[in-house]
Amino acid sequence: MSEMTINLKIWRQKNTDDPGRFEDYKLGGVNEHMSFLEMLDVLNEDLIKKGDDPVEFDYDCREGICGSCNMVINGKAHGPKHKTAACQLHMRTYSDGDTIVIEPPRAAAFPVIRDLVVDRTAFDRIIEAGGYISVKTGAAPEANLIPVEQEVSNQAFDYATCIGCGACVAACPNSSASLFTGAKIAHLNRLPQGKPERARRTIAMVDQMEKEGFGDCSNYAECEAVCPVGISIASIAEMRREYMKAIF
Amino acid sequence: MPSLLEAFQSQVGRKILTGITGFLLVFFIIFHLAGNLAIFGEPDAMNSYSHFLHQLGPLLWLARIGLLLIFVIHAWIGISIWLKKRKARPVDYKVYSTKGGPSKQSLSSRSMAFTGVVLLVFVVFHINTFALGDMADTQLANGTVVHDIKTLVIDTFQNPFYAFGYTFVMILLGAHLGHGIWSAFTSLTLRSKKASAVIYSIGVIAAILLAVGFLFIPLYIYFGGGCEAALIQCN
């Protein structure tokens, strides 16, 4: 088992108002089987032992499901691998002596809370604007009451896999949230349960996306390249189609 | 519900407008190139074409105003998107690179604002040189007296500053269209992955053909010697 020494250049920022700066760390004893986050855990153990503040980063499942771990590694959201969240990236991707630059997702709409942790509640507000369906509460309805074609259900599910990690925003040269918003609109508007509110939903979510300060889409498709679940920019085209249907 | 005016000011509305105006501008430059290629036709071809356009009178003015409006909307939205990106990311990355794969980031897509602004400035110079340039009168074979745009074009491109300046800007036009044609389709809601791949390739080929078509003329005139050139017949 080979052990590596990795040079880290990590963005450190005490709070939202702190201008922030890069700190260099040399981390020895990095095992190739470690996940990227485990490597950061080892760094943090060292920092804590030395009495320094550990590097704050977001994570939850560490299984590539939740998307909390979105960070920008050597200029790429979630690191170099396609359809892979940062937590599923392993240190065997790197070689002994490599330098890795780690930055938070950078967008005015995602203010840094501390180090690599950003506030992604802008996404929650886009969902609040229309990313839901209105149903009567009470006993769960009979599952087969509303027929959904298999094809439609599959397409909706493809869009529903968006985990809201924000890698699309992080990687977009314009900091656009179009992939996220498009995926949510495409998911809900395709299903019969989502159809009654499709026009209002589309207008409200697009409106909220703009209010949050995300940039415009320039069809770079970088969002699709970094998306850990591979959401296609077809969702953005679908959002535009839905928007046109809503206003005419 | 927003009004139509409000809707077209939203992020999605703006993108759709960019796509529509982009398409219209592509159609315009295809016609423009077809007109330019008349320089290689019959000795009278270019001047009679220009005469035909001028004879349209109010229709020509309608086209000019429409074109100006389309151009201004396209440029305005493009520049505002570019200005907004700085606001949307006040602190930039120290290291940034594309992840490749489905990404359409390229020199062409990343330089849209630059190539667009150059084209904007170019159009002003271009109109000043040719549409407003000093033209002598000449007689067509059928006796009609018309403005001699052909001679103005040939004379202008004897000047290396114009010949190479135009060539350079036409390369930038090709770069702009390389991303632009596919992007317009995507803005106008193209969803299919397969169609998208095909249209991207067609867009790049069309961009190269248009750019080469346009830049061939100044270079040919400059190096070929204008009226003495094999492909150009003057009166």
Dump pLDDT digits (tens) for A69-78: 999 999 999 9
Averaged over B120-130, what is the pLDDT?
Answer: 95
Interface test with B, best of A116, A185, A243 (most B CBs within 10 A): A243
For A48-83, the pLDDT digits (tens) are: 999 999 999 999 999 999 999 999 999 999 999 999
Task: Tell me which residue in B11, B101, B191 faces A234 most closely, judged by beta carbons.
Answer: B191
For B186-218, the pLDDT digits (tens) are: 999 998 889 999 999 999 999 999 999 999 999
Q: A78: helix, coil or strand?
A: coil
* Element at B137 (helix H, strand E): strand B137-139
**Is B6 among the domain residues?**
no
The residue segments making up the domain with residue B27 are 12-88+109-228
Averaged over B111-120, what is the pLDDT?
Answer: 97
Q: How far apart are CA B163 and CA B229, in angstroms?
A: 15
B150 touches chain A (CB under 8 A): no
For B39-49, the pLDDT digits (tens) are: 998 889 999 99
A215 touches chain B (CB under 8 A): yes
Within 187-206 of B, beta carbons closer than 8 Å to A belong to: 187-193, 196
Averaged over B175-181, what is the pLDDT?
Answer: 97
pLDDT of residue B101: 93
Average confidence score pLDDT of chain A? 96
**Is B53 among the domain residues?**
yes
Q: Nearest residue of A to residue B85 by CA position?
A: A174
B190:A233 CB<8 A: no
For A142-180, the pLDDT digits (tens) are: 888 889 999 999 999 999 999 999 999 999 999 999 999
Intra-chain end-to-end CA distance of chain B, in Å: 62
pLDDT of residue A10: 98
Give contacts of A77 with chain B, Cβ < 8 Å.
Answer: 99
Q: Which tokens sit at B140?
A: 């067509």
ipTM of the complex: 0.92
Contact A94, A3 (CB under 8 A): no
B136 touches chain A (CB under 8 A): no
pLDDT of residue A141: 80
Task: Tell me which residue in B92, B101, B186 faces A82 most closely, judged by beta carbons.
Answer: B101
pLDDT of residue B42: 87
Give contacts of A233 with chain B, Cβ < 8 Å.
Answer: 102, 186
Q: In total, how many domains does chain B have?
A: 1
Q: Which tokens sit at B201?
A: 């390739």
B102:A218 CB<8 A: no
Q: What is the b/e burial string over B42-73, where b = at least 16 CB atoms within 10 angstroms of the residue's CB?
A: eebbbbbbbbeeeeeeeeeeeeeeeeeebbeb
Task: Tell me which residue in B88, B90, B179 faces A174 most closely, judged by beta carbons.
Answer: B88
Contact A171, B97 (CB under 8 A): no
Averaged over B160-175, what is the pLDDT?
Answer: 97
pLDDT of residue B71: 97
Query: Which CATH number describes the domain made up of A3-103?
Result: 3.10.20.30
Domain ranges of chain A: 3-103, 120-247
**Is B152 among the domain residues?**
yes
Q: A36: helix, coil or strand?
A: helix
Q: How far apart are CA A73 and CA A46, in angstroms?
A: 21
Q: How far apart are CA B130 and CA B224, in angstroms?
A: 21
B15:A80 CB<8 A: no
pLDDT of residue A26: 97
Task: Tell me which residue in B89, B95, B102 faces A101 most closely, judged by beta carbons.
Answer: B95
**Is B93 among the domain residues?**
no
Going by pLDDT thresholds of 50, 70 and 90, the confidence category of residue A44 is: very high
pLDDT of residue B142: 86
Within 67-106 of B, beta carbons closer than 8 Å to A belong to: 81, 84-85, 87-105
Is the pLDDT confidence value at B230 over 80? no
Is the pLDDT confidence value at A13 over 80? yes
Going by pLDDT thresholds of 50, 70 and 90, the confidence category of residue B235 is: low
A173:B191 CB<8 A: no
Contact A57, A73 (CB under 8 A): no
CA dihedral for B45, B48, B54, B55, sign (positive or negative): negative
* Element at A102 (helix H, strand E): strand A99-103
> A109 — phi, psi (to 5°)?
-75, -15
Interface test with B, best of A212, A240, A245 (most B CBs within 10 A): A240
**DSSP-derived secondary structure letter, A52:** P
- Pairing label, strands A72-73, A76-77: antiparallel
| Residues whose CB is less than 8 angstroms from the CB of residue A62 and which lie 6 or more positions away in sequence, other chains included | A35, A37, A69, A87
Mention the CATH class of domain A120-247.
Answer: mainly alpha
A225:B96 CB<8 A: no
pLDDT of residue B117: 97
A33 touches chain B (CB under 8 A): no
Q: Nearest residue of B to residue A9 by CA position?
A: B94
* Element at A103 (helix H, strand E): strand A99-103
| Residues whose CB is less than 8 angstroms from the CB of residue A70 and which lie 6 or more positions away in sequence, other chains included | A58, A77, A78, A85, A86, A105, A165, A166, A167, A170
Q: Which tokens sit at B31?
A: 């016609």
Q: Which tokens sit at A145?
A: 């009451």
Within 160-179 of A, beta carbons closer than 8 Å to B belong to: 171, 173-176, 178
Within 94-113 of A, beta carbons closer than 8 Å to B belong to: 101, 103, 106-109
Is the pLDDT confidence value at A1 over 70? no
| Residues whose CB is less than 8 angstroms from the CB of residue B109 and which lie 6 or more positions away in sequence, other chains included | A218, A219, A220, B178, B179, B183
For chain B, give the percent of residues with pLDDT over 90: 83
